[in-house]
Structure 1
Amino acid sequence: MWFEIERDHSLPLSWQLHLQLKEKILKGMIVGGQRLPSTRSMAEQLGISRNTVVEVYEQMTAEGYLQTKLGAGTFVTDGILLDNFRLEKSVMTCNRKEEKSDYIDFRSGFPALASFPRMVWSKVAKDVYESSAADLFGYQEPQGSEELRQVIAAYLYRIRGIECDPASIIITSGATQAFQLVAKAIIEPGRVVYVEDPITKEIREILSGTGGSIHPIAVDKDGLTTNSLPRNIQHTILSVTPSHHFPLGAILPAQRRIELIQFAEETDSIILEDDYDSEFRYNGIPFSTLYSLAPHRVVYIGTFSKILSPALRIGYVIMPKHLINNAIQVKRYLDYHSPILNQVILARFIAKGHLEKHVNKMRKLYKGNRECLIRNLQKNFPEIRIIGSSSGLHIVAAFPGIEFNEKLLKVIKENGILIQGVERHAINKGKYANQLIFGYGNCNELEIIRGVALIKKILEGKM
């Protein structure tokens, strides 16, 4: 019997044999009643451990594909045939070990993945796994770890001046789930939802996914144009990124913040404040939040994906007190609760001061990356206009006379650069076709220099 067993495949040898043997049986290549080679013989043919073959035979016997007859051997069960069955090639190929990507990664939203504090995190994790009570490994409350909620409340007070009750916080699996949670909790079909234009494409889709009626509001150099909000409507939702607009980087000034709160009060509306990377401000301290101005009107959404790692999948939402109970019920039905052990590890990580040390370290790294990026863009493209460079993990660059359409962006990717255009996130198309979003969090200065030079060659038609 011929089987393709690959030792360098990420799938275990036993699973490779199991999948292929099952396929041959279902397709009738090995017919019912046929005797299979002994486990010893099969192992010798394939050059694998006999225990591996025993494991596969036992598993497939338990599933009913095989039958063992005492003293006679192992046989294929009669009647196991499925017309037109074929094993999807992706099952055996998608898990192959991939070579490290050679792409220069200018995608926004990615922190410096190689700088994750692995040693410190692993020490905290080891302590949590070894010292935690047994009930921590069971089901928890939908709101998430009380310990983490208390730590987040204290942390936000220190770094953002936010005063909130830990009982108003819900831990989520990242900011994406936080938006899903809020959308399901407060956006009923037909409810008007005002969003910045441009806005993250995924967030727009989430907010409209529960039936919200999306209405774009233009953004200028100071953020959301509050004078564009209509006053003849009640009970709306407004989604804003006041501390660092995505993708244009605008910071909403105090006057517009007050106007936004006044609009919410006058129209009995709720504001969704996405504060996704406010820790990384390079001139002065972070701006105060809308939540601090009107806790009863603002839903505050934060995440640790940009600060630490997207892989942790930990975000949080602070709900106004009159909305918290409904949001907790929604969270219960979404996934009952987000993974609890990482929550406790994060709580201890923050409480011991490790997070603030990490943020301070990364702020210096990102500031150097930002300066290197701007310097090289201006050197290679003297006419370029840099937008939104005072904070965050990305800038926007406007290239006069260039249109970054799908064809050109495909050429850029084919030449080894991952990057997005602002136009992708625009609702009203056509205004941002000459602008690229340069994320500088997950690349070093050498990659930045190479990447900018490569883009210049592409735009000059030399690639």
Structure 2
Amino acid sequence: MIWITIDRSSHKPMTQQIYEQIRESILHNELQPGERIPSTRELANNIGVSRNIVLEAYDQLIAEGFIYSQPRLGTFVADGSSLRLGRSWTPASMIETCPNQDDTSYIDFRAANPAIDYFPRKVWGQLAKQVCNQASDIIFSYSHPLGLTELRQTLSKYLHRYRGVKCHPDQILITSGATQAFHLISQCFKEQNAEIIMEDPITYEIRNLFISAGYSIYPIPVDQKGMQTHLLPPTTSCKLIFVMPSHQFPMGGVLPIQRRTQLIQYARDTHSFIIEDDYDSEFTYEGSPVPSLQGLDPERVIYIGTFSKILSPGLRIGYAVLPPILTHHFQRQKWLMDRHTSSLEQRILARFLEEGHMERHIRKMKKIYRKRRQTLISSLKQEFPYISILGQATGIHLVADFANVVFTSLLTKQILQEGVKIYPVEDFALQKGGHLKQIVMGYGSLSPEIIKEGVYRLKRAIQSVS
């Protein structure tokens, strides 16, 4: 499947944009020799342009030998049309996911940033000192690939109590952050022509991780209730379905029970596994937290969690709760990758959980985030009376839906010149054109005063372009 991004504000013709993106995909082996590409009609419908525009791009690619057409069979990538690169190549979209954390000259509404200034340094430092002084020498040696038994036992109780996760400690794999858990999944299920079903829109990191592992993506649009499960394909060769049922990113929807049961039944019927990313559901402000999807079917759901949003991204501890049938394979892959996650940090975290510090920290942070959330909502409604707020019930970000503002690249640059970083939802979309008036705004790392100033600058930038 080809993903083409059309920048309608660019001076470059759309035909040229399509031609260059397909050409680069072929040259860099993202499209393999002999691989069938969409018909001109199909691609035109997917990206919302005239078929003649796509025809012109295909004609140029055929003339240069990148692709060829076979009557009644389709259009295919030609042999010998790719390059063996002399150096590693990184897509621009991946570079953009690695922001300069030292740059404080901007008010950054990045959704993934928690309030790291509230990290419980004193308690963590005391526990670290105790672990180093009291633990046996084995803590400084090699550990089990699944992780420390002490942490997995404590974590299984914590997850059952607060998230409704049903698991034995031996089903838990401790990872170096959630990213490593996703990477392990991509490797354990990797096969020729691998495909994964994903929500659309979706975070850069997840999309790029699976694409770089050789997967093609089958997108399922989301609405205000999460993945639209009635749009799942009737038949599929996909072995993986990625979903954020408790707080979809970026749109913030919570998957209702009807869609949850439909999704689980679909996974059973297609013999596929559901990847449940539960990245920030600890912070719920309206109603009660929705229990995990994993609790409905532990045999079909791979539950992924992290402490990056609760404590700190720098901690680099995440975990995967695996169906029993997968534990041996994942354990082996983890050992091959890096043997095990830091034993010292695991022991400290286990003590942090056992002694009740985690619950106290979450209660404290909910009060702080609730205030910052309300400040952002109030400021937006005050400066933009026509605005709609989406996905604000959980987590540390929301989506602002503007009735009469389209976030073009020109407007985004103007906002940046005002010293504010915002993130258009359209940038996260696989199928373009449906989220032009929406932006993701994270508030976790911003004080109420900074939030107010950021919204004021946002209004000033929009007014200057208008």
Same fold (TM over 0.5): yes
Task: Tell me if the contact between 2:425 and 2:440 (Cα under 8 Å) persists in the aligned partners.
Answer: yes
Match of 2:407 in 1: 404
Q: Are 2:151 and 1:130 equivalent residues in the alignment? A: no
1:323 is paired with a residue whose SS is helix
Match of 1:250 in 2: 253
Task: Tell me if the contact between 2:303 and 2:321 (Cα under 8 Å) persists in the aligned partners.
Answer: yes
Instruction: Write out aligned runs for 1:310-329 (5 A).
Output: 310-329=313-332
Q: Are 2:416 and 1:413 equivalent residues in the alignment? A: yes
Match of 1:279 in 2: 282
- Give the number of aligned pairs: 366
Q: CA deviation at 1:233?
A: 2.5
Q: Are 2:389 and 1:371 equivalent residues in the alignment? A: no
* Selected match of 2:181 from 172, 178, 182: 178
Q: CA deviation at 1:161?
A: 1.9
Task: Tell me if the contact between 2:244 and 2:277 (Cα under 8 Å) persists in the aligned partners.
Answer: yes
Match of 1:165 in 2: 168
Task: Tell me if the contact between 1:280 and 1:363 (Cα under 8 Å) persists in the aligned partners.
Answer: yes
Q: CA deviation at 1:437?
A: 0.6
Match of 2:53 in 1: none
Match of 2:272 in 1: 269
Match of 1:440 in 2: 443
Match of 1:67 in 2: none
1:299 is paired with a residue whose SS is strand
Where structure 2 has 5 or more consecutive residues not aligned to the other structure, the ranges are 1-100
Match of 2:347 in 1: 344
Q: Deviations over 1:304-332 (max 9, x none)?
A: 00000000011000111111111111111
Q: CA deviation at 1:201?
A: 1.5
1:461 is paired with a residue whose SS is helix
Q: Which runs of 4+ in 1 moved over 4 A?
A: none
Q: CA deviation at 1:235?
A: 5.2
1:227 is paired with a residue whose SS is helix
Task: Tell me if the contact between 1:234 and 1:268 (Cα under 8 Å) persists in the aligned partners.
Answer: no
Q: CA deviation at 1:147?
A: 1.2
Task: Tell me if the contact between 1:196 and 1:216 (Cα under 8 Å) persists in the aligned partners.
Answer: yes
Q: CA deviation at 1:278?
A: 0.6
Q: Deviations over 1:68-113 (max 9, x none)?
A: xxxxxxxxxxxxxxxxxxxxxxxxxxxxxx9872322211011111
Q: CA deviation at 1:189?
A: 2.7
CA distance in 1, matches of 2:102, 2:358: 31
CA distance in 2, matches of 1:398, 1:222: 16
Q: Deviations over 1:275-296 (max 9, x none)?
A: 0001011122210111101101
Q: Deviations over 1:209-229 (max 9, x none)?
A: 332221000111111111101
CA distance in 2, matches of 1:404, 1:333: 44
Match of 2:302 in 1: 299
- State the TM-score, normalized to the length of structure 2: 0.76
Task: Tell me if the contact between 1:383 and 1:399 (Cα under 8 Å) persists in the aligned partners.
Answer: yes
Counterpart of 2:305, as a letter, is G
Match of 1:289 in 2: 292
CA distance in 1, matches of 2:120, 2:138: 28
Match of 2:151 in 1: 148
2:185 is paired with a residue whose SS is helix
2:180 is paired with a residue whose SS is helix
CA distance in 2, matches of 1:171, 1:278: 19
Counterpart of 1:247, as a letter, is P
CA distance in 2, matches of 1:164, 1:298: 11
CA, structure 1 residues 189+448, in 2 after alignment: closer, same or farther (shift >3 Å)? same
Counterpart of 1:215, as a letter, is Y
Task: Tell me if the contact between 1:272 and 1:301 (Cα under 8 Å) persists in the aligned partners.
Answer: yes
1:188 is paired with a residue whose SS is coil
Task: Tell me if the contact between 2:415 and 2:462 (Cα under 8 Å) persists in the aligned partners.
Answer: no
Instruction: Write out aligned runs for 1:186-265 (5 A).
Output: 186-234=189-237, 236-265=239-268
Counterpart of 2:300, as a letter, is R
Task: Tell me if the contact between 1:231 and 1:267 (Cα under 8 Å) persists in the aligned partners.
Answer: no
CA distance in 2, matches of 1:222, 1:215: 19
CA distance in 2, matches of 1:187, 1:356: 38
Counterpart of 1:375, as a letter, is S
- State the TM-score, normalized to the length of structure 1: 0.77
1:411 is paired with a residue whose SS is helix
> Which deviates further from its counterpart, 167-176 or 185-194?
185-194
* Selected match of 1:423 from 392, 401, 426: 426
Match of 1:35 in 2: none
> Which deviates further from its counterpart, 419-428 or 202-211?
202-211
Match of 1:451 in 2: 454
CA distance in 1, matches of 2:265, 2:445: 39
Q: CA deviation at 1:142?
A: 1.4
Task: Tell me if the contact between 1:189 and 1:210 (Cα under 8 Å) persists in the aligned partners.
Answer: no
Counterpart of 1:445, as a letter, is P
Q: CA deviation at 1:341?
A: 0.9
Match of 1:382 in 2: 385
Match of 1:358 in 2: 361
Q: CA deviation at 1:150?
A: 1.0
Q: CA deviation at 1:173?
A: 1.0
Counterpart of 1:161, as a letter, is G
Match of 2:396 in 1: 393
CA, structure 1 residues 420+362, in 2 after alignment: closer, same or farther (shift >3 Å)? same
CA, structure 1 residues 347+99, in 2 after alignment: closer, same or farther (shift >3 Å)? closer
Q: Deviations over 1:123-168 (max 9, x none)?
A: 1111011111112111112112211111110110111122211101
Task: Tell me if the contact between 1:188 and 1:210 (Cα under 8 Å) persists in the aligned partners.
Answer: no
Match of 2:120 in 1: 117
Match of 1:26 in 2: none
